[in-house]
């Protein structure tokens, strides 16, 4: 009988590693294939960057609380984020949607309004796509194309021991926004006449429903004359992304709990949910912030920036990836992240 291995045995990253085995590269223009935030293609004077992401109804969003316009906006922005993670700039996108007859033309136009808004704001051209029907939920797949000067590109690999690990913005907010939305959805399902309690949570809801990608940070670092030595965007949670950087760079790291930037609204809502704010920041995901390393000699250039926070440094590989808790104890970092394939 044919062998059958359950998806949950490998998890998402194990599956990608398996699919990536024995892929033959035929062209010298393929500079980097699977394994970074974007594929890198030699386009002559510059490198071209390519990335794709899919949002699936009831896996990545719930139409009970995701406004269609925000959903369109988010599906574009999550792709932009991977281009910025290579220190590049986004140029074009193609958009594929699968919809059922549950959706009206107006509803699909709403999604496109959001996509167009993101394109306007980030200065990106929508140049194509595909439209198909779906028997079930809504699926949006966007592929983004970007470019970067050859000497400006930053990979996940490239860091070195003692270099500083820096994050932009703050973490865990989108995850807390999702907890609020899920709580209100449950309440609504039990009693549709109850009004949702959404006061004082605007920031974390926006981080969940309408995130931004850190084009500004890429630009800001250029003005400071700081080129990251390695970089990734934070889509699956800080812990998971740090482990990706360490693996790619053949390094270990030490980060400090007390240095992880967490917004006040995230913090107070985590407490209300009896969640540890640090755990939300480490494992929440969907932050779309940038995580990168810089040389120690660049520290003075970034130290006064309110957008950037040094959270630790790279160490040698044998020390592993660790977090120093507030009481001084050292714990190995684990990526809980999301496992799409785990059995419920
Ligand atoms: P990100 O979180 O930055 O979007 P992913 O974790 O989705 O990155 O993917 C990691 C790497 O694996 C990327 O280089 C991506 O292109 C590649 N990858 C993901 N899924 C597949 C697939 N089904 N086939 C080939 N490559 C894939
Ligand atoms: Mg990424």
Model confidence over 154-213: pLDDT tens digits? 999 999 999 999 999 999 999 999 999 999 999 999 998 888 888 889 999 999 999 999
Say which CATH number the domain at 318 has.
Answer: 3.90.650.10
Do both 122 and 188 map to the same domain? no
| pLDDT tens, position by position, 114-143 | 999 999 999 999 999 999 999 989 999 999
Q: Is 275 within 8 Å of 340 (Cβ atoms)?
A: no
Which of 16, 59, 76 has most ligand 1 atoms within 8 Å of CB, for mutation?
16
> Domain for residue 343, yes or no?
no
Residues 187 and 324 in one domain: yes
Same domain (yes/no): 197, 144: no
- Asked if 132 and 185 sit in the same domain, the reply is no
CA distances from 10 to 7, 59, 241, 250 (A): 6, 19, 18, 22
Kindly provide the residue ranges of all beta strands, DSSP E only, lying in the chain, ordered along the sequence: 30-32, 39-42, 46-56, 89-99, 125-133, 139-149, 164-168, 230-234, 251-256, 289-294, 308-316, 321-324, 330-332
Q: Residue 227 domain-assigned?
A: yes
Domain termination site, one of 121, 149, 177: 149
Model's pTM, two decimal places? 0.95
Q: Which ligand is nearest to the CA of 335?
A: 1
Judgement on whether residues 75 and 198 belong to the same structural domain of the protein: no
241 Cα to the center of ligand 1, angstroms? 13
Look at residue 258 and tell me if it is in a domain. yes
CA distance 86 to 38: 7
Q: Which residues line ligand 1 (CB under 6 A)?
A: 16, 19, 34-37, 53, 82, 235-236
Q: 10 alpha carbon to ligand 1 midpoint, in Å?
A: 15
| Nearest residue (CA) to ligand 1, atom 19 | 16
Domain at 57, CATH number: 3.30.1330.10
Q: Say what the pLDDT of residue 313 is.
A: 98
Statement to judge: residues 250 and 280 lie in one domain: yes
Confidence class of residue 1 from pLDDT cuts 50, 70 and 90?
A: low
Beta-sheet strand order (sheet of 330-332): 230-234, 289-294, 164-168, 308-316, 251-256, 321-324, 330-332
Give nearest CA residue, ligand 1 atom 15: 34
Can you give the residue range of the structural domain that contains 243?
Answer: 164-332
Q: Are residues 126 and 224 in the same domain?
A: no
In the structure, what pLDDT confidence band is assigned to residue 344 with cuts at 50, 70 and 90?
Answer: very low
Q: Is residue 154 part of a domain?
A: no
| Residues 6 or more apart in contact with residue 299 via CB below 8 angstroms | 164, 310
Distance (Å) from CA 145 to ligand 1 centroid: 15
Count: domains in the chain? 2
């Amino acid at each position: 009988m044919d062998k059958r291995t359950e998806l949950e045995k490998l998890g998402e990253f194990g599956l990608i590693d398996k699919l990536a085995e024995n892929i033959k590269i035929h062209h010298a223009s393929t500079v980097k294939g699977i394994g970074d935030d974007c594929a890198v293609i030699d386009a002559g004077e510059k490198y071209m960057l390519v990335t794709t992401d899919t949002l699936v109804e009831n896996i990545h969003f719930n139409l009970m609380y995701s406004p269609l316009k925000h959903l369109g906006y988010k599906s574009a922005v999550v792709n932009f984020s991977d281009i910025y993670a290579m220190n590049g700039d986004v140029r074009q996108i193609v958009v594929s949607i699968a919809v059922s007859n549950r959706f009206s033309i107006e509803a699909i136009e709403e999604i496109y309004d959001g996509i167009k808004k993101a394109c306007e704001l980030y200065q990106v051209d929508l140049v194509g796509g595909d439209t198909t029907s779906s028997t079930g939920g809504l699926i949006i797949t966007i592929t983004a194309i970007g470019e970067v000067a050859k000497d400006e590109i930053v990979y996940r690999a490239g860091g070195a021991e003692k270099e500083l690990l820096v994050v932009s913005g703050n973490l865990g907010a989108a995850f807390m926004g999702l907890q609020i939305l899920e709580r209100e959805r449950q309440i609504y399902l039990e009693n549709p006449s109850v009004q949702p309690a959404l006061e004082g949570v605007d920031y974390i809801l926006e981080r969940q429903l309408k995130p931004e990608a850190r084009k500004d940070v890429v630009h800001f670092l250029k003005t400071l004359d700081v080129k990251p030595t390695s970089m990734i965007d934070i889509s699956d949670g800080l812990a998971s992304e740090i482990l990706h950087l360490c693996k790619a760079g053949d390094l270990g790291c030490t980060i400090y709990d007390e240095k992880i930037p967490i917004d006040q609204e995230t913090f107070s809502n985590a407490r209300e949910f009896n969640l540890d704010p640090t755990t939300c920041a480490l494992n929440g995901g969907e932050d779309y912030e940038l995580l990168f390393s810089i040389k120690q000699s660049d520290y003075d250039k970034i130290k006064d920036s309110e957008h950037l926070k040094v959270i630790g440094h790279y160490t040698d590989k044998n020390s592993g990836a660790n977090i120093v808790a507030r009481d001084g104890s050292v714990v190995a970092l684990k990526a809980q992240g999301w496992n799409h394939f785990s059995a419920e």
